[in-house]
């Protein structure tokens, strides 16, 4: 998985398409980001923009968008239905894929500092990036809106985190933060009754329902000593829900906002609605995602549904996503296209990279056999390693599904899941090795007419050669993890598949030795003796350890082959 940060700035302009386009063009001009969605609202006079990229690229793109919005939007003239306090009203960062909260918070702080210092716009950090707990809530920061900030900002407790203690009349103020990913998720019911859909919604949402004296929805509400209604909590934390009727489809839905998908994932919301509906004599017929989601949501859902089937969870990501789509009926109302709805897949499609791992076997072999030096030995070594891991994972899946071995299901399923992760790491390195080699070629192609150009070229060649040595070293390191998998499958796996363990073992050993050759050939070109020695020593250690593990597991394979 990639380290991606999603950014969802809200700009206080939803009516002038030329202004909106100039802002989004500024965002898209930053290298390394993909613009995913632009959603203008005329009544709110507000546009929500969604884009993703690496942490560094996302900060740069957000800054360009905020700068352009400050140039084009005059808050002194702004009117709209949505609460607002600035030309860029709010700009949250959300970690996706392998990115974590520390990186998202760092993005918010870096952007806030730049906006405050370079654009002279007051910036308030909110949610997980907030410096002060009482200012973490966006609604609290925005209270009084644009008009109140002229006086509000003068109070000591409302001095901004970045930027001047004086309100910017034209651009207003901006809230920048890091928040959880929010998913809008609707579950379809076989009824047209809003009341019945609301009953399910009240069962599942965190807020639950008001407790009544006679226990019926229409009864008199029970109150506490303060006079506040007493509530019966719902089944799920971090879920807001309501029932409504969708005339377009002729059905009632439970419409939910999942505000913390780590604690309450998508599949938990689906299962809860299914449980509640069934108790009420209703049936869940399908569901729909509004907007986009991280890949992990459907991968985790696929694993969850396989677990409920008492089946191995060690399926490929593509299969897990398909299982989730089918189980939750995400295509019931309209076709669900993963490449349009899953953030990482949309980014991949937008970048249109010529990925080796996306080629079929024949094209990959043809590309390798051509007169181009890449892909070469490093990429092929990584692919061989991925195949070795895949064979080990296959044995784990076969063992998990073996009749009479039901008590061992979870043990082998866990190993199959680990194999899928290792396989994906190895496949990503297939392309990384070719990218690293191409950087070496690009460095040699740099100009060398002047002393300055020669110096820059020499530094670029050194950096590229170091990277070209480090990537195959990572191939060795990753492939070495497969020995534990193969050892377990040789010792405890389905004995009918022992030859597959043996072939996997040979492939992993070949991968490590082949990748080691690629480290050594690139190390030769390094001028930094310290890096040279360090990398060479690591190769030596990996090869020695690999040979020892290979011999150890081979003995077990040979013993079982002989019967």
Whole-angstrom CA distances from 120 to 22, 70, 101, 151, 176 are 21, 10, 27, 18, 14
The residue annotated as part of the active site, out of 16, 74, 78, 82, is 82
- For residues 266-301, one letter each, b for 16 or more C-beta atoms within 10 angstroms of the residue's C-beta and e for the rest, the string is bbbbbbbbbebbeeeebebebbbbeebbbbbbbbbb
Q: If you ran DSSP here, which 8-state letter would residue 445 be given?
A: T
Query: Token pair 């084009």 is at which residue?
Result: 72
Q: If you ran DSSP here, which 8-state letter would residue 234 be given?
A: -
Q: If you ran DSSP here, which 8-state letter would residue 401 be given?
A: T
Would you call 82 a catalytic residue per the annotation? yes
Omega into 111 within 30° of 0, i.e. cis? Answer: no
The residue annotated as part of the active site, out of 161, 203, 433, 500, is 433
> Cβ neighbours of residue 539 under 8 Å, at least 6 residues apart?
473, 476, 516, 519, 520, 523
Contacts of 21-24 spanning 24+ positions with Cβ under 8 A:
22/68, 22/72, 23/47, 23/49, 23/65, 23/68, 23/69, 23/72, 24/49, 24/65
Would you call 78 a catalytic residue per the annotation? no
Which residues make beta-bridge pairs with 493? none
Q: What's the rounded Cα separation, in Å, for the pair 547 and 305?
A: 40
507 closest CA partner among 536, 486, 477:
486
322 closest CA partner among 346, 334, 305, 307:
305
For strands 174-178 and 123-127, give the pairing.
Answer: parallel
Contact 553, 491 (CB under 8 A): no
Residues known to be catalytic: 82, 433
């Amino acid at each position: 998985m990639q380290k991606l940060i999603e950014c969802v700035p809200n700009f206080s302009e939803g009516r002038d398409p030329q202004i909106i386009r100039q802002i989004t063009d500024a965002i898209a001009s930053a290298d390394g980001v993909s613009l995913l969605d632009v959603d203008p609202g005329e009544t709110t006079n507000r546009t929500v923009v969604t884009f993703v990229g690496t942490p560094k690229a996302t900060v740069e793109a957000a800054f360009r968008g905020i700068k352009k919005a400050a140039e084009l939007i005059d808050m002194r003239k702004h009117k709209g239905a949505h609460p607002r306090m600035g030309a860029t009203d709010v700009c949250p960062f959300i970690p996706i894929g392998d990115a974590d909260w520390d990186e998202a918070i760092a993005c918010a702080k870096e952007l806030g500092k730049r906006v405050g210092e370079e654009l002279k716009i007051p910036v308030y950090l909110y949610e997980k990036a907030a410096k002060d707990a009482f200012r973490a809530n966006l609604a609290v920061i925005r209270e009084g809106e644009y008009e109140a900030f002229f006086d509000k900002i003068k109070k000591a407790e409302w001095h901004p985190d970045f930027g001047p203690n004086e309100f910017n009349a034209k651009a207003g103020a901006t809230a920048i933060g890091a928040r959880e990913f929010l998913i809008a998720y609707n579950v379809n019911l076989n009824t047209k009754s809003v009341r019945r859909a609301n009953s399910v919604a009240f069962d599942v949402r965190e807020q639950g329902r008001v407790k009544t004296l006679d226990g019926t929805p229409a009864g008199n509400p029970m109150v506490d000593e303060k006079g506040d209604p007493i509530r019966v909590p719902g089944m799920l934390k971090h879920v807001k829900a309501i029932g409504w009727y969708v005339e377009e489809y002729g059905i009632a839905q439970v419409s939910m906002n999942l505000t913390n998908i780590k604690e309450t994932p998508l599949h938990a919301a689906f299962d809860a609605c299914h449980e509640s509906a069934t108790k009420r004599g209703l049936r869940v017929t399908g569901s729909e995602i509004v907007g986009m989601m991280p890949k992990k949501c459907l991968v985790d859902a696929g694993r969850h549904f396989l677990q409920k089937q008492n089946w191995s969870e060690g399926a490929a990501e593509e299969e897990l996503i398909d299982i989730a789509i089918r189980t939750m009926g995400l295509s019931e109302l309209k076709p669900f296209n993963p490449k349009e709805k899953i953030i990482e897949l949309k980014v991949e499609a937008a970048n249109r990279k010529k990925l080796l791992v996306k080629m079929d076997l024949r094209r990959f072999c043809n590309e390798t056999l051509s007169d181009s030096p890449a892909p070469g030995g490093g990429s092929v070594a990584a692919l061989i390693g991925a195949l070795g891991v895949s064979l080990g994972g296959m044995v784990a899946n076969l063992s998990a599904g073996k009749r009479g071995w039901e008590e061992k299901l979870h043990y082998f399923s866990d190993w199959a899941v680990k194999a899928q992760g290792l396989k994906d790491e190895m496949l990503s390195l297939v392309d990384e090795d070719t990218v690293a080699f191409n950087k070496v070629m690009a460095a040699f192609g740099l100009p060398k007419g002047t002393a300055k150009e020669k110096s820059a070229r020499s530094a670029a060649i050194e950096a590229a050669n170091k990277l070209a040595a480090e990537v195959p070293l990572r191939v060795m390191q990753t492939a070495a993890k497969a020995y534990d998998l193969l050892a377990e499958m040789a010792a405890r796996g389905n004995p009918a598949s022992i030859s597959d363990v043996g072939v996997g073992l040979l492939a992993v050993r070949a991968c490590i030795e082949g990748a080691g050759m690629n480290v050594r050939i690139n190390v030769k070109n390094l001028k930094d003796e310290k890096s040279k020695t360090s990398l060479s020593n690591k190769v030596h250690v990996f090869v020695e350890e690999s040979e020892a593990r290979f011999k150890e597991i081979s003995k077990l394979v040979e013993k079982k082959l002989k019967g």
